[in-house]
Chain A
Amino acid sequence: MSTLVLSATRQRNLGALTLIGCAWLVFVVFLVLPLYVVLSEAIQQGYASFFTAVLEPDAIAALKLTLIAVGISVPLNVVFGVSAAWCVSKYEFRGKSLLVTLIDLPFSVSPIIAGLIYILLFGAQGFFGEWLAEHDIQIIFAIPGIVLATLFVTVPFVARELIPLMQQQGTQEEEAARLLGASGWQMFWHVTLPNIRWGLTYGVVLCTARALGEFGAVSVVSGHIRGFTNTLPLHVEILYNEYNHVAAFSVATVLLVMALLMLILKQWAQERLEK
C-alpha cells in the first residue's frame, strides 16, 4: 500500500518536473537566448563602440522623442483611465457595456491599422488634411502623430487594470466619506485614490512599457525622419536595416534596460496590490 502511494507521488513529481523543465526550456530558448544575443552583439566590438552608438545625436534624439511620447501619453491615459474606471464602476448608465468594449478596442485592432487610421484622418490626403494644411498644422510625420499613435495603443492599460479593482471595492467608502462631509475632490483624494494606488501604479507601469516599445502604429505615422521623428524602436530598425548591427543592438540594449526597469516596478506594484 505504502509503496503504491509512494510511486504515485513520485509519478506526480515526475510529471511536474517534466512540465517545469519544459517551461524553463521555452523560457531559455525564446527569452534568455535572444537577450543574450542582443547584449553580446552590442558589446561585440567593445564598450567604446557601444557608447558611441548610444550617445550618437540621432540616438539621443530618438531617446528624447520616445520619452516625450511616454511623458505625454502616460499622464493622459492616467486621467482617462481613472475617469473611465470611475464611470464604469460607480455609476449605472446607458451604453456602459459599449464603453467597456471601446476601451478594449486597441487590444484587438492591429497597431498598423491604428496608424493607418491616423494617416487617413490627418494625412495630406486625409479627412482633415486640407484644413490642417491651411492652418499649417502638421500631425502626420511629426511629433503629434507619434503621440496620438502611442496614446491609441496604450489606452486600455490603466482603465482595464482599475475597472475590476474599483468594481470590487464598491461605493460604500465613498458614500461614507460624503456623509462625513467630504467634498468630491476630498473624497477622491483621501479615499478613492489611496484605495486604487497600487492598481494604478501597475497600470501606469504596463502603459509606460507599451509606450516605450510601441513600433507598428508609430512606424506608420512617423515617416522615419532621422533625428526628428524616430523613436528608439524605429531607430533600432533603421540601424539594423543599414547592417549596422553593433549600433542596432546597442540601442536595443537601452530599450531592454528600460523594459527591465519597468518589469521590476511592475513586480513591486503587483506585490503591493496583492497585499
Chain B
Amino acid sequence: MSIEVQHVNKAFGDFKALNEINLAIESGELVALLGPSGCGKTTLLRIIAGLEKPDSGHIIFNGDDVSKRDVRKRNVGFVFQHYALFRHMTVFDNVAFGLRMKPRRQRPSETGIRAKVMELLQMVQLDWLADRYPEQLSGGQRQRIALARALAVQPEILLLDEPFGALDAKVRKELRRWLANLHEEINLTSVFVTHDQEEAMEVADRIVVMNKGVIEQIGTPAEVYENPANEFVYHFLGDSNQLQLNDQQIQFRPHEVELSRQAAPELQAGIVRDIRPLGAITRVTLKVAGQEQPIEAEVVRDNINLIGLQRGQTLFFRPNAS
C-alpha cells in the first residue's frame, strides 16, 4: 500500500513540529525517517498512524484520503519504541489481542486465533515463550513480540518508532537484518524512525532526512551519502573533518584521505595523536599545526603507512574528496 503525505503541518503550542511535509512512499518500500531528536520524525510517524492529528494537510493510503479516518480503522501495524506490550497479558494474549478485538462477524474462531498466533510466534522464533509475561522477556524478545502483535491483524503498512533504540549493539544488528528480511518476505510498506544514520543506511531502501520539522533530503542511502543536499545532511550522515588550507575551508570524510610517510608539496603534515585499530579499518588522529580541531583519517588496516607507526611521529596526508 502506498502512502502519501501532503502539505502536513503540526504545531504543539508555539513549537512548530512539522512544516509543510510532502512525502510519497511507494508500495512495498522500506523507508527510514532519519534525524536528530526533536526533528519531528516521530510526530510524522504518529500522524501517518492516526495517533496524532495534523493541523493541516492530508494523509493518503493507496489513493484514499484517510486524514479523517480513526486510528482503529486505518489498519496500520505500529511498533512503539518501548514496545507498549500489555503487561498483564501473556505473550500469547498480547499477540491475539488484535484478532480478539475484531467485530464478532470478522473474528476468527478461538482455534483459528490460536493457529494464527502460533504461526506468528514461530515466525519471530519465540513460540516457546507463549505463556510468559512481558516483564519476563529480554528487550530483543519484547521487540519481536511487539512486531508479531502488530502483524497479527495483517496490516499493509508497518510503522516502527525507533525500533532498535533500546537494544544493545549486538541484538540491534541481528534484529536489523532480521527486519529487512521479514520486510522482503511479507510484502509490506514499512516506515521506521531512527536517529542512527548507520541503521538507516543498513536497512532502508530510501532515507528521509529531517531536521527542525522540515525534510532536508529524500533519497537512497547512496544518494544521500554521496550527494548530500546541504551541510546538515552531510554532517548528519557521517563524521567529517574540517581543514583550513590557505584561506579555504575544506571538508572531507575520514576515509577520503591519502596518507604518506614522505613529505611532498601537495601534502599536509600532521602529528600522530592516536592510532585506533577498528577491525577492517584503522583510525589515525592527526594534529595539524595552527588548527584546533584534529583530523581523523580512516584507512584499511594493512595500509602500508601504518607499519611501525608510533604516536608523536609526523605523517603527511591529503584529502582526496571527489
Query: Residues on A close to B: CB < 8 A?
Result: 172-173, 175-183, 186, 190-191, 194-195
B286 within 8 A of A: no
Interface string of B72-99 (1 = CB under 8 A from A): 1001111010101111110000000110
Q: List B residues 20-48 near A (Cβ within 8 Å).
A: none
Number of interface residues of B (CB under 8 A): 24
Q: Do A181 and B102 contact each other (CB < 8 Å), given the known contacts A175-B51, A195-B87?
A: yes
Q: A172, A173, A180, A182: which has the most chain B beta carbons within 10 Å?
A: A180
The answer to whether B101 touches A180, judged by C-beta atoms less than 8 angstroms apart, is: yes
- Grouping DSSP codes into helix (H, G, I), strand (E, B) and loop, the B interface class, with mixed when no group exceeds half, is loop
Residues of A within 8 A of B77 (CB): 179
The answer to whether B71 touches A179, judged by C-beta atoms less than 8 angstroms apart, is: yes
B149 within 8 A of A: yes
Q: Distance (Å) between the CB of B117 and the closest chain A CB?
A: 13
Select one of A175, A182, A194 contacting B101, CB under 8 A: A182
- For the complex, give the distance between the alpha carbons of A176 and B86 in Å: 9
Select one of B49, B86, B98, B102 contacting A173, CB under 8 A: B86
Residues of A within 8 A of B89 (CB): 194
Select one of B78, B82, B85, B88 contacting A179, CB under 8 A: B78
Q: Distance (Å) between the CB of A177 and the closest chain B CB?
A: 7
Q: B51, B76, B77: which has the most chain A beta carbons within 10 Å?
A: B51
The answer to whether B98 touches A180, judged by C-beta atoms less than 8 angstroms apart, is: yes
- For the complex, give the distance between the alpha carbons of A172 and B149 in Å: 14
The answer to whether B101 touches A181, judged by C-beta atoms less than 8 angstroms apart, is: yes
- For the complex, give the distance between the alpha carbons of A195 and B296 in Å: 52
- For the complex, give the distance between the alpha carbons of A186 and B86 in Å: 14
Q: Distance (Å) between the CB of B27 and the closest chain A CB?
A: 20
Residues of A within 8 A of B87 (CB): 173, 195
The answer to whether B72 touches A178, judged by C-beta atoms less than 8 angstroms apart, is: yes
Which 4 A-B residue pairings sit nearest by Cβ, starting from the closest?
A: A180-B98, A172-B84, A176-B84, A194-B88
B153 within 8 A of A: yes
- Grouping DSSP codes into helix (H, G, I), strand (E, B) and loop, the A interface class, with mixed when no group exceeds half, is helix
The answer to whether A173 touches B101, judged by C-beta atoms less than 8 angstroms apart, is: no
Residues of A within 8 A of B76 (CB): 179
Given contacts A173-B86, A173-B87, 11 further A-B contacts (CB under 8 A): A172-B80, A177-B101, A178-B51, A179-B150, A180-B153, A181-B72, A181-B101, A181-B153, A182-B72, A182-B97, A186-B101
- For the complex, give the distance between the alpha carbons of A178 and B153 in Å: 12
Q: Distance (Å) between the CB of A269 and the closest chain B CB?
A: 15
The answer to whether A179 touches B51, judged by C-beta atoms less than 8 angstroms apart, is: yes
Residues of B within 8 A of A179 (CB): 49, 51, 71-72, 76-78, 150
- For the complex, give the distance between the alpha carbons of A183 and B97 in Å: 12
Residues of A within 8 A of B88 (CB): 194-195
Q: B76, B78, B82: which has the most chain A beta carbons within 10 Å?
A: B78
Q: Do A173 and B84 contact each other (CB < 8 Å), given the known contacts A179-B72, A183-B72?
A: yes
Q: Distance (Å) between the CB of B305 and the closest chain A CB?
A: 52
- For the complex, give the distance between the alpha carbons of A177 and B87 in Å: 12
Closest chain A residue to B70, Cβ basis: A178
Interface string of B162-194 (1 = CB under 8 A from A): 000000000000000000000000000000000
**20 cross-chain CB contacts under 8 A:** A172-B82, A173-B84, A173-B85, A173-B86, A173-B87, A176-B84, A176-B86, A177-B86, A178-B72, A179-B49, A179-B72, A179-B77, A180-B72, A180-B101, A180-B153, A181-B72, A181-B75, A181-B101, A186-B101, A191-B86
Residues of B within 8 A of A178 (CB): 51, 71-72
Residues of A within 8 A of B82 (CB): 172
The answer to whether A176 touches B80, judged by C-beta atoms less than 8 angstroms apart, is: yes
Residues of A within 8 A of B84 (CB): 172-173, 175-176
- For the complex, give the distance between the alpha carbons of A175 and B175 in Å: 24
The answer to whether A180 touches B49, judged by C-beta atoms less than 8 angstroms apart, is: no
Residues of B within 8 A of A194 (CB): 86, 88-89
The answer to whether B98 touches A181, judged by C-beta atoms less than 8 angstroms apart, is: yes
Interface string of B210-243 (1 = CB under 8 A from A): 0000000000000000000000000000000000
Residues of B within 8 A of A181 (CB): 72, 75, 98, 101-102, 153
- For the complex, give the distance between the alpha carbons of A10 and B40 in Å: 60
The answer to whether A180 touches B80, judged by C-beta atoms less than 8 angstroms apart, is: no
- For the complex, give the distance between the alpha carbons of A269 and B128 in Å: 32
The answer to whether B72 touches A190, judged by C-beta atoms less than 8 angstroms apart, is: no
Residues of B within 8 A of A177 (CB): 86, 97, 101
- For the complex, give the distance between the alpha carbons of A23 and B76 in Å: 59
Residues of B within 8 A of A190 (CB): 86, 97, 101
Closest chain B residue to A173, Cβ basis: B84
- For the complex, give the distance between the alpha carbons of A50 and B86 in Å: 52
Q: Distance (Å) between the CB of A196 and the closest chain B CB?
A: 10
Q: Distance (Å) between the CB of A174 and the closest chain B CB?
A: 9
Q: Distance (Å) between the CB of B104 and the closest chain A CB?
A: 12
